[in-house]
């Protein structure tokens, strides 16, 4: 149930790659190769590529995952959200250009804003309760006796999931909200960021968020794995950290 | 108060440029030169560039606007919204790489998600009431007697505007909501998409959305101007359409 987030920050490159030509791509490939047998998904975060003008590296990394590890799900973390005519272009970007299996989306623009993603045959994973403190500002407003994030979970479970593959994003930093969302959407996959550097606990996530069959979670860790070591052993250290996180996600047998 | 949105759709290129090398950049430059003296802002929509792998064209177009028309505001329409460490990279993309003066953001992740944009000295324009029908799904939920979009307007007017330059997005297709948002945020600039192809009326927008001084609006039209003609006269036709829209935005003297 582990997902490794690919957030290649040039300020945190391990020193064997720091400043090297093609460092972003080489770093991501090394992390992918070191952890692929431990994960269900890789999740490149597009902002880290866009800030560096590294779209070609992202294309290459996505192709590498699809071709080398075809059983691993490729989630483009882009949090898209726009009106239909624009969303159509974001769908082409995510599923055509990058070949992602699913893309994260922001639900603020509602159901019609995600239709183009389904038409392109890709999955959408909607932000529901995010891992940051400011998530409260809008997501925790109470309407009709329920917080906004619960309305989002209901909208996705009721209206979106009949049209295509859907999931929800709930931060590991809010385990009670995770349990609430699981009750609203018993069968949907939930992508859970915030384990590791952001402070969420993997075992708590499984306890509160697993579906009835013990599965249904995609638990993301990015920085704790990517930057487990800044030395020559960065890939081995990433593998060790990913292994520890994966082990803590296993249910008691 | 007119803003021309740069949404270069390869399926709608005027025939003199259709299929030509560098068509996206040439098309945008022609529209910019034809309309620059009629506008307060240009607003490139990043999805249209990202779907084609045309980031370098976008860089070039942004640089062209800044250098050639330094008095025109450059708004990157990207509707970003992510946690702080990722938003930091989106801020670098918008204000560093593309040199935009402001970027559109999605408010769903709350106040801490926009802090990096202010730290980079750029402006943020937050989605409030969007122009699409699905905007109702979340934005019109009523919490504490007010719709979610009114809470967003209050959050931006109260908490964000003390930290940096802010604005709000309200669709021209919802004039009553535009008046409501103006009442909540008397002094903030409001970016109004949805005039033209989407059906919003420019004069109605001014009546409902102008600030007390008769200004405070950035009224965007994209497709009606960009695709006013598909022939050799596309730039002249765009200028004529932009002139008509600009005239309809003038207050009665």
Give the nearest chain B residue to A99 (CA atoms): B51
Residue of A nearest to B83 (CA): A132
CB A72 within 8 A of CB A42: yes
- By C-alpha distance, the chain B residue nearest A56 is B53
Give ipTM to 2 decimals. 0.96
Could you report the per-residue pLDDT of B140-157, keeping only the tens digit for each? Answer: 999 999 999 999 999 999
CB B109 to CB A87 under 8 A? no
Answer whether B51 sits within 8 Å of A90, measured CB to CB.
yes
Residue A250 domain-assigned?
A: no
Q: How far apart are CA B192 and CA B189, in angstroms?
A: 10
Q: How far apart are CA B181 and CA B187, in angstroms?
A: 11
CB contacts of B82 in chain A (<8 Å) are: 47, 79
Q: Which pLDDT belongs to residue A253?
A: 53
3-class SS of residue A235: helix
Q: Residue B6: exposed, middle, or buried by beta-carbon count in 10 A (0-12, 13-18, 19+)?
A: buried
A56 within a domain of the structure (yes/no): yes
- Tokens coding B16: 């003199």
* Predicted confidence (pLDDT) at residue A211 exceeds the cutoff of 90: yes
- Residue A54: the pLDDT is 98
Residue A112 lies in a domain: yes
Residues pairing with A192 in the sheet: A219
Q: How many angstroms away from the CA of B143 is the closest CA of chain A?
A: 4
Confidence of residue B253 (pLDDT cuts 50, 70, 90): low
Q: DSSP characters for B102-158?
A: EEEE-GGG-GGGTHHHHHTT-EEEEEEE-SSGGGHHHHT-EETTEEHHHHHHHHIII
pLDDT band, very low/low/confident/very high, at B251 (cuts 50, 70, 90): low
By the CB < 8 Å criterion, does A108 face chain B? yes
Which of B157, B215, B158, B167 lies closest to B190 in space, CA to CA? B167
Q: How far apart are CA B238 and CA A113, in angstroms?
A: 28
d(CA B66, CA B62) in angstroms, rounded, equals 6
**Is A79 known to be catalytic?**
yes
The verdict on a CB contact (< 8 Å) between A137 and B155 is: yes
Contact status, residue A32 vs residue A225, Cβ threshold 8 Å: no
Query: Can you give the pTM of this predicted structure?
Result: 0.97
Residue A86 has pLDDT above 90, yes or no: yes
Q: Are strands B123-129 and B142-143 parallel, antiparallel or unpaired?
A: unpaired
For residue A89, being part of any structural domain is answered with yes
Structure tokens at B183: 């009442």
- Residues β-bridged to residue A104: A125
pLDDT > 80? residue A251: no
CB A67 within 8 A of CB A60: no
Mutate to test the interface with A, among B82, B105, B200 (most CBs of A within 10 A): B82
Provide the pLDDT for residue A252: 58
DSSP category for residue A252: P
B9, B33, B55, B79: which one is catalytic?
Answer: B79
Pinpoint the alpha helices (H) of chain A.
Answer: 23-35, 46-50, 55-68, 84-91, 115-119, 136-139, 148-155, 175-184, 202-209, 223-226, 234-248
Q: Is B158 on the interface with A (CB under 8 A)?
A: no
Question: CB contacts < 8 Å between A and B, how many?
Answer: 167
Q: Does A139 touch chain B (CB under 8 A)?
A: yes
Task: Using the structure block, give the residue that is written with the tokens 């109004």.
Answer: B192
Residue A66: pLDDT band (50, 70, 90) is: very high
Residue B209 belongs to some domain of the structure: yes
Domain count, chain B: 1
Q: pLDDT of B60-81, one tens digit each?
A: 999 999 999 999 999 999 999 9
CATH number, domain with residue B76: 3.20.20.70
User: Does B253 reside within a domain?
Assistant: no
How confident is the model at residue B132, as a pLDDT? Answer: 93
User: What are the chain A neighbours of B89 within 8 Å (beta carbons)?
Assistant: 9, 47-48, 50-51
Q: How many Cα atoms sit within 13 Å of A247 on the Cβ side?
A: 6
For residue A13, tell me if it sits in a domain.
Answer: yes
Q: How far apart are CA A193 and CA B171, in angstroms?
A: 32
The tokens describing A85, both together, are 């005519």
A251 lies in some domain:
no
Whole-number pLDDT of residue B199: 81
Provide the mean pLDDT of chain B.
95
Domain that holds residue A232: 2-245
Instruction: State mean pLDDT over A210-237.
Output: 96
Cβ count near A145 (within 10 Å)? 6
Within an 8 Å CB–CB cutoff, is residue A148 touching chain B? yes
Contact between B36 and B78 under an 8 Å Cβ cutoff? The reply is no
- Tell whether A107 is within 8 A of chain B (Cβ): yes
B106 vs A contacts (CB less than 8 Å): 79, 81, 106, 108
Q: Show residues of chain A in contact with B138, CB under 8 Å.
A: 107-110, 148, 151-152, 155
The C-alpha angle B189, B109, A80, rounded to 5 degrees, equals 85
- Determine the distance in angstroms separating the CA of B141 from the nearest CA of chain A, rounded to an integer: 6
pLDDT single digits (tens) A122-153: 999 999 999 999 999 999 999 999 999 999 99
From B135, B183, B118, select the one nearest B157 (Cα to Cα): B183
Ranges of H-type helices in chain B: 23-35, 46-50, 55-68, 84-91, 115-119, 136-139, 148-155, 175-184, 202-209, 223-226, 234-248
Q: Which of A92, A106, A131 sits opposite B108 (nearest CB)?
A: A106
Q: What is the mean pLDDT of the segment spanning A99-127?
A: 97
B189: nearest Cα among B43, B68, B83, B22: B43
User: Given CB atoms, is A106 within the 8 Å cutoff of chain B?
Assistant: yes
pLDDT value at position B118? 96
CB pair distance less than 8 Å for A89 and B48: yes
Q: Which of A79, A146, A163, A223 is catalytic?
A: A79
Residue B18 forms contact with A (CB below 8 Å): no
Contacting B residues, span 43-62, partner chain A, CB-CB under 8 Å = 45, 47-48, 50-51, 53, 55, 59
Residue written as token pair 């989306």: A105
Average pLDDT, chain A: 95
How much of chain A, in percent, has pLDDT values that exceed 90?
92
Between B148-155 and B175-184, two packed helices, what is the crossing angle to 10 degrees? 40
* A120 contact B CB<8A: no
């Amino acid at each position: 149930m582990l997902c490794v987030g690919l957030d290649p920050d040039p300020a945190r490159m391990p020193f064997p790659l720091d400043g090297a030509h093609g460092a972003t791509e080489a770093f991501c490939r090394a992390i992918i190769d070191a952890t692929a047998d431990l994960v269900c998904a890789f999740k490149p975060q597009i902002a880290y590529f866009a800030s560096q003008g590294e779209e070609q590296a992202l294309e290459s990394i996505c192709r590498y995952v699809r071709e080398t590890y075809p059983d691993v799900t490729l989630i483009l973390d882009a949090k898209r959200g726009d009106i239909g005519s624009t969303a159509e272009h974001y769908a082409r970007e995510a599923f055509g250009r990058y070949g992602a299996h699913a893309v994260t989306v922001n639900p603020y623009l509602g159901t019609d804003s995600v239709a183009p993603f389904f038409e392109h045959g890709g999955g959408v994973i909607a932000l529901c309760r995010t891992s940051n403190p400011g998530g409260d500002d809008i997501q925790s407003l109470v309407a009709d006796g329920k917080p906004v994030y619960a309305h989002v979970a209901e909208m996705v479970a009721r209206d979106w999931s009949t049209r295509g593959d859907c999931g929800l994003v709930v931060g590991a930093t809010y385990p009670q909200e995770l349990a609430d969302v699981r009750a609203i959407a018993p069968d949907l996959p939930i992508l859970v960021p915030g384990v590791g550097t952001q402070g969420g606990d993997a075992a708590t996530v499984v306890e509160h968020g697993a579906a009835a069959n013990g599965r249904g979670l995609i638990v993301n860790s990015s920085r704790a794995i990517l930057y487990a070591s800044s030395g020559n052993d960065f890939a081995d250290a990433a593998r060790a950290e990913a292994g520890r996180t994966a082990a803590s996600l296993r249910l008691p047998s």
